[in-house]
Amino acid sequence: MKVIETIDDMRQLRLKLTEPVGFVPTMGYLHEGHLSLVRKARAVNQSVVVSIFVNPTQFGPREDFSQYPRNPERDLALLEKEKTDIVFTPSVAEMYPDQFDSWVEVGRLAQRLEGACRPGHFRGVTTVVAKLFNIIQPTGAYFGQKDAQQVVVIKKMVADLNMNVEVVAVPTVREPDGLAMSSRNTYLNPEQRRAATVLYQALSLAQKLWTQGETDAGKLRRQMVDLIRGEPLATIDYVSIANAETLDELDRVSPPALVSLAVRIGKTRLIDNGVLQ
Ligand code: AMP
């Protein structure tokens, strides 16, 4: 496994990789969710590249960029075990030199849900992913369904800008009690960690009611909101039931519908989602 820090070195090495090349972009502090993407990439490609880059442009001014957890040594050991060929770990200055001033922005799909709560977030995501695609030129890129809107937005960018990459979504990996794995779970103290299961409980409730025949999206949202309000440590940012492709909010559920939510537990903002099929 080679660890590469500069764009020039990455380009040089890329020329020698055997096709197809699978790529997994991450911000590090790896957990089983990230590793499931790497395993998927490993299973269907001859070469696997993983990037670790905490991308400053996708964090808002009052968000957790400087506190975001980092553990590069541990990450590299985990990636070595998964038979990663190349880990690309550029510095912020390497990716965003002083005069950097070009942006990739998806329209409507990036403005709702996470985009509405975190202005500029997706502009940062699509810009860095476009840069990484240009540098690494992967055959396929692997993203977690955990960040469902991110998958939709990146697929839109790839289609609209004719990028030659297959975007693959990989199922969410959860803790035994249902909490979606996330690097940010490390912010939770034991009491908050217990409270954080409310996200999965709300998703499970929506799934159960839908299976029982409830198609009124308003009723499903209300039931989810009521359940979350029963948890004193939780504050809702949004609870959404939307068309899984357009992200338009639904009155009547018609499958596939994306049920997604953002909830703050103390200062930690968690997101999760499920699909009603
Ligand atoms: P991040 O390091 O948070 O930017 O995540 C890197 C990639 O891992 C993204 O495509 C995420 O959607 C994905 N990911 C994060 N958590 C999970 C999870 N629990 N299950 C599956 N994929 C995940």
Nearest residue to 224 via CA among 244, 195, 200: 200
> What pLDDT is stored for residue 201 in this prediction?
98
169 backbone dihedrals φ, ψ, rounded to 5°:
-95, 135
> What pLDDT is stored for residue 181 in this prediction?
98
Ligand 1 mean position to 61 CA, how many Å?
22
H or E, element range at 42: helix 32-44
> What pLDDT is stored for residue 80 in this prediction?
98
Q: In the annotation, is 34 catalytic?
A: yes
Token pair 């040594």: residue: 73
- Point out which residues pair with 276 in neighbouring strands: 257
Q: Could you tell me the pTM of the whole model?
A: 0.98
Among protein residues, the one with the nearest Cα to ligand 1's atom 10 is: 143
Cα-only R_g, the chain: 19
Among protein residues, the one with the nearest Cα to ligand 1's atom 22 is: 144
> What pLDDT is stored for residue 255 in this prediction?
96
Cβ–ligand 1 distance for 199 under 6 Å, the answer: no
> What pLDDT is stored for residue 86 in this prediction?
99
Residues of the chain with pLDDT under 50: none
- Cα–Cα distances (Å) from 265 to 8, 176, 196, 258, 270, in that order, read 42, 19, 7, 22, 7
> What pLDDT is stored for residue 131 in this prediction?
99
21 backbone dihedrals φ, ψ, rounded to 5°:
-110, 120
**Displacement of CA 43 from its chain's centroid (Å):** 21
Ligand 1 mean position to 260 CA, how many Å?
15
Cβ–ligand 1 distance for 146 under 6 Å, the answer: yes
- Substitution candidate for ligand 1 out of 87, 146, 173 with most atoms within 8 A of CB: 146
Ligand 1 mean position to 51 CA, how many Å?
12
Strands (E), the chain: 2-4, 21-26, 47-52, 86-88, 140-144, 166-170, 234-243, 257-265, 268-276
Closest atom, ligand 1, to C-alpha of 27: 2
